[in-house]
A and B are shown apart, each in its own frame.
Chain A
Amino acid sequence: MSTNSSSSLILQEKFRTYLGLGMAVAGILILLAIPSLISPYYVYLLATIFTTALLATSLNLVLGYGGLLHLHHAVFYGIGAYTVAIIMTKTSWPFAIAVVLGPLVAALIALVIGWFCVRLRGLYFGMLTLALGQLVWAIVYRWNALTNGDNGIHSIPVPEFLTSVNSVYYTTLLVLIVSLVILYLIIKSPFGLTLIATRDNPMRSESLGINVKRHRLTAFVIAGFFAGVAGVLFILVERSVAPSLLFWNKSAEILIMCLMGGLTVFMGPTLGAAILVVLSMIVGLYTEYWLLVLGLLLLILVLFLPQGILGYLLKSRNNKKPSMRGEN
């Protein structure tokens, strides 16, 4: 890229933006038409991908853009799902309230957990998210009266119009697109840019008068909220929920998705989620040792492709790596 012709640079930039926009519109049109073309099982699979993609992207706000070692994001996913499940089975409240409360409760818990965590740095931050997250898991696992404990909650009632596979598909797609747009706007907003600054150089940010902890906490709560939204979608897709949804290895799975797609690219986690969900389905057909395959995949990824698939493809554009060496 030549540096002296700034007008061609702007033109290129514009072209890229339009190209991206055009690809997004084409992608959405294809996704809208797809349910009539494929069998219901694959429609269900796509809905699962959409749900997981939202979950992974919400984590990446904290992990990739905030540079925080958030090791237990599945907690907020689980809380969103459990809130809906409990309201729909234990109370006579309408579905709309459950859907609104799911993400809000997740955000509230994120506020409480985050409030403690943002005071720590690096690895200690990660360990506290792990400890507090596992505490939430243990409570869900043990509180039989409310959560049905180990058995989970099954056949959760949802409104009539959300029972068919296609309507679930379109709902999850719509929610995913709206959420991704909001998350994208957040990252491009002054808040998002400041967050990235606190990731790249927390000390300098602090001395410029930026309240680093508050920015991190805000990002943590927003991520928790959208994980809660993903949890609500999970209920729509699966109509059941179990404590394993918020065990720590679920969180590790989400981390792998983010890494696989690329932490520095906005659509990276979405790609990672799609790859992982599809792979687990395909591998599951042949062998029960899916985790072995996942482990080998992760090993190869870390050793040879640490910037992720999208990160590798877009290397020329994004040559900055998030610093997560623990000194932040």
Chain B
Amino acid sequence: MNFATLASQLFIGLSRGMIFFIVSAGLTLIFGVLRITNFAHGSLYMLGAFIAYSISTFLGQGPNGFWLALLIAPLAVMLISLVIERGLLRFIYNQDHLMQMLLTYSLVLIVGDLVKIVWGTEFKSMNVPTILRGSFNLWGASLPLYNAFLLIVGPVVALGLWFFLSKTRLGKICRATATDREMVDILGIDSTQVFALVFAMGGWLAGLGGALIAPTTTISIGMDANILIYAFLIVVIGGLGNVWGTLISSIIMGVGEAFGILFIPGVAIIIPYIIAGVLLIIKPSGLLKSAW
């Protein structure tokens, strides 16, 4: 074990944390504003990956395919989210947590089988564009270029979210809705439209996460369930509805998982659950203040 191994593992963990962040940020936004636990978030992420795959395959797996997929897949998922919100979710905003959860869970089951019907059960893979292929050297460690790309995209998304939420009028309305929905209604703003906007944005983020992960992994059914549990834990650890808490806990999860694989490869699978369990026990309300 030398410095280079540690550094490269830290690097891998950080870039994985960025994917976690992009997906979980959408989930935490939806929770903060709509107060809904969105089980379907993992399904949206999976849809993002599959749609990106289809676009890239349609364009012959070339370099343009990747960039176009990265642009279009999240938008397509956003559109699907909008349909889900307007068509289903808006009818259950006044129901219990349990009912809302089960409604979004029904979407998990439906989307899972629909993906199976549309794309089949065999594993799929997508090419990394030429410009992001290969690796570079940093302090003697050889690091994949694509992960460096993720490390740039993650902070860009975080900055974009920060700008949107604290600098734009729409973002401020979103935050106001999270804090006091009735007050927003009284001020003459239709809060259900804010709900639709936030859910669509959450869907866009999930789709972006799926499109970003697509070239680095085998795209398959079941990737929804895996990311969903991680995203849930990350969101809760970070403090429900708090985007910055989500950023911190995503990095903790990503790096923790990467070092787990390095030090105890056999049982690395249990690391995220242990991290989540310990953090929830010592700080039950999350690392940062919940719901803004």
Show the binding face of A for B, using Cβ within 8 Å.
63, 69, 116, 119-120, 122-124, 126-128, 130-132, 134-135, 138-139, 141-142, 248-249, 252, 255-256, 259, 289, 291-292, 294-299, 301-303, 306, 321-326
Q: How far apart are the CA atoms of A291 and B109 in the complex, in Å?
A: 5
Closest CB in chain B relative to A252 CB, distance in Å: 6
Contact of A142 with B267 in the complex, beta carbons under 8 Å:
yes
B interface, CB within 8 angstroms of A: 37, 88, 91-92, 95-99, 102-103, 105-110, 112-114, 116-117, 225, 229, 232-233, 236, 240, 266-267, 269-270, 273-274, 276-277, 280-281, 284-285
Judge whether B102 and A116 touch: CB under 8 Å. no
Contact A298 B266 (CB under 8 A): no
Shortest distance in angstroms between A67's beta carbon and chain B's nearest beta carbon? 10
Decide yes or no: A124 and B284 within 8 Å by CB, A131-B277, A294-B109 being known contacts: yes
A124 and chain B: residue at smallest CB distance: B284
Q: Which of A123, A142, A296 contacts B110 (CB 8 A)?
A: A296
The one of B98, B107, B232, B285 in contact with A295, judged by C-beta atoms closer than 8 angstroms, is B107
Chosen A-B contacts, 30 in total, with CB atoms closer than 8 Å, are A120-B280, A120-B284, A122-B97, A123-B97, A124-B236, A124-B284, A126-B97, A127-B236, A128-B284, A130-B232, A131-B236, A131-B273, A131-B276, A131-B277, A134-B229, A138-B270, A139-B270, A142-B266, A142-B267, A248-B225, A252-B105, A256-B102, A256-B105, A291-B112, A292-B114, A297-B106, A301-B102, A302-B92, A302-B106, A325-B96
Given A131-B273, A248-B229: A295 and B108 within 8 A (CB)? yes
In the complex, are the beta carbons of A303 and B91 less than 8 A apart?
yes
Nearest CB on B from A186, distance (A): 22
Bound state CA distance, A299 and B110, in angstroms?
9
Q: Is the CB of B117 within 8 A of A289?
A: yes
A302 near B102: Cβ-Cβ < 8 Å: yes
* One of A120, A135, A252, A296 near B270 (C-beta < 8 A): A135
Q: State the CA gap A302–B102 with chains docked (Å).
A: 7
Q: Which residues of B contact A301 (CB under 8 A)?
A: 102
Q: Which residues on A sit within 8 Å (CB–CB) of B99?
A: 259, 302, 306
Whether B273 pairs with A132 at a CB distance below 8 angstroms is yes
A198 to B159, CA, bound (A): 44
CB distance from B85 to the nearest CB of A (A): 14
- Choose one: B109, B240, B270; the contact of A292 (CB below 8 Å): B109
Bound-state Cα–Cα, A225 to B194, Å? 45
A123 to B100, CA, bound (A): 12
* Total A-B contacts with CB atoms under 8 angstroms apart: 123
Pick the contact of B102 from A138, A249, A259 — CB < 8 Å?
Answer: A259
Write out the residue numbers on chain B whose beta carbons fall within 8 Å of the beta carbon of A122. 97
Residue of B whose beta carbon sits closest to that of A326: B97
In the complex, A127→B240 CA distance in Å? Answer: 11
Nearest-Cβ distance from residue B224 to partner chain A, whole angstroms: 10
Q: Which residue of A lies closest to B121 (CB)?
A: A288
Task: List the B residue with the shortest CB-CB distance to A287.
Answer: B113
Indicate the member of B92, B102, B103, B107 with the most A CB atoms within 10 Å. Answer: B102
Partner of A69, one of B88, B95, B98: B98
A contact residues around B95 at 8 Å (CB): 302, 306
Chain A residue at smallest Cβ distance from B91: A303
Q: Are B97 and A142 in contact (CB under 8 A)?
A: no
Q: Which residues of A contact B280 (CB under 8 A)?
A: 116, 120, 124, 127-128, 131
- Does the CB pair B105–A298 fall under 8 Å? yes
A-B pairs, 8 with minimum CB distance? A295-B109, A292-B113, A135-B273, A298-B106, A295-B110, A138-B270, A131-B276, A127-B236
User: How far is the CB of B1 from the nearest CB of chain A, in Å?
Assistant: 23
B269 touches A128 (CB 8 A): no
**Complex: how many Å from CA A249 to CA B222?**
11
Which chain A residues border B266 with CB–CB below 8 Å? 142
Give Cα A321–Cα B94 distance, bound, in whole angstroms.
Answer: 14
- Shortest Cβ distance from A125 into B: residue: B284
Q: What residues on B are CB-neighbors of A120 within 8 Å?
A: 280, 284
Which listed residue (A128, A131, A259) contacts B98, Cβ 8 A? A259
**What's the Cα separation between A297 and B106 when bound, in Å?**
8
Among A124, A142, A295, A324, contact of B96 (Cβ-Cβ < 8 Å): A324
Identify the closest chain B residue to A247 (Cβ).
B225
- Most chain A CB neighbours (cut-off 10 Å) among B105, B233, B274: B105
Interface centre among B88, B117, B232, B240 (most CB of A within 10 A): B232
Give CA–CA (A249, B112) in the complex, Å. 12
Residues of A within 8 A of B88 (CB): 299, 303
Q: Are A123 and B273 in contact (CB under 8 A)?
A: no
Q: Once the chains are docked, how many angstroms separate the CA of A298 from the CA of B117? A: 20
Alpha-carbon separation in the docked complex, A289 to B236 (Å): 32
**Alpha-carbon separation in the docked complex, A63 to B281 (Å):** 22
Quote the shortest CB–CB distance from B116 to chain A (angstroms). 7
Chain B contacts of A141 at CB under 8 A? 269
Q: Besides the contacts A249-B225, A302-B99, what 19 more A-B pairs have beta carbons closer than 8 Å?
A: A63-B98, A124-B240, A124-B280, A127-B233, A130-B233, A131-B277, A135-B274, A141-B269, A142-B269, A291-B109, A291-B113, A292-B109, A295-B106, A302-B103, A303-B88, A303-B91, A303-B92, A306-B95, A325-B97
Query: From residue B266, how far is it (CB to closest CB) to chain A in Å?
Result: 7
Q: Name A133's closest neighbour in chain B (CB-CB).
A: B273
CA–CA, A69 to B225, complex, Å?
Answer: 19
